[in-house]
Amino acid sequence: MATRVEMLIETLKAHPEKKFTARDLAKEFLFRYPQEIAEKQTNPRYNTEEKLIAQLATEIGGDTTQRAKSICYNVVTRDKPRPRIYYWEEHPLLEEQPQVIAPSKGEGDEVGLDSPLASGSYSEHDLYPMLVKYLSKDLGLYCQRIDERKSKNAHGNGGNHWLHPDIVALEPLDQGWDDIVRSCVRSGNHSSVRLWSFEVKKHLTKGNVRKYFFQAVSNSSWANLGYLVATGLNSDVEGELQMLSSLHGIGVVILNTESLFDS
């Protein structure tokens, strides 16, 4: 039986003229590999085709992509603009070839999106583990949830909402550095890590966008990079978000709850 990595490589190779999202590939897997997918279909968490496609798309966007690219230079992804696009490149440039990455344990590990996908609805707290999964798998960040309810403050009821972000993350910059470079950075009193801050909300509207945005500004003054995260936004706030982002240096992440790695 084919592994997820083999399924990804074989599907792209069979359609060299086509570009896929992770969700498109998941749908193609259902058609091309019914035997391989049959076991997952018996899991009650994926008792509908939509839930099964969402889980497969999440798995594709994680370690499966890295491992497929490490063993087959023809597998190419384009990450910007989102969503990520997968395609087959007949003659990839040698200088773009990735380094070989050792296989990791548990290629088909479940991502654990039970609550949001099973019920069709989710709270802000349901989004935290989903965001952490996306940040750690896709961006290589080390994440920590900050629970404002457990911290002390002297700012009265609700004051912690303007003190602490929902998720903080650390990005190690020195991975792959030569020891000489690492020593130079340390002796120059420079940091070898980058700090990220994430304020999570369900949906952005004209009525809440400024409050939520400036909450992200307030909570990320210490961070190298700060982001406001939401699952969606109304069309009438897009222009205002672009203006606020350019003025205050806060980015916006739209978290795709059905296909995390298309966020």
Q: Which of 240, 165, 251 is nearest to 209 (CA)?
A: 240
* pLDDT recorded at residue 15: 92
77 membership: H or E segment, kind and range: strand 75-78
Other C-beta atoms closer than 10 Å to the C-beta of 14 total: 11
d(CA 241, CA 205): 11
* pLDDT recorded at residue 25: 93
* pLDDT recorded at residue 179: 74
* pLDDT recorded at residue 86: 93
Q: Which long-range contacts (CB under 8 A, 24 or more apart) does 52-56 make?
A: 52/26, 53/23, 53/26, 53/27, 54/23, 54/26, 54/113, 54/117, 54/258, 54/259, 55/110, 55/111, 55/113, 55/117, 56/25, 56/26, 56/29, 56/30
* pLDDT recorded at residue 148: 66
Burial class (CB in 10 A: 0-12, 13-18, 19+), 253: middle
* pLDDT recorded at residue 197: 92
* pLDDT recorded at residue 159: 55
* Residues making up the chain, counted from first to last: 263
CB 141 within 8 A of CB 171: yes
* pLDDT recorded at residue 68: 85
CB 182 within 8 A of CB 192: yes
Which of the residues in the chain have pLDDT under 70?
Answer: 62, 91-121, 148-162, 174-177, 185, 188-192
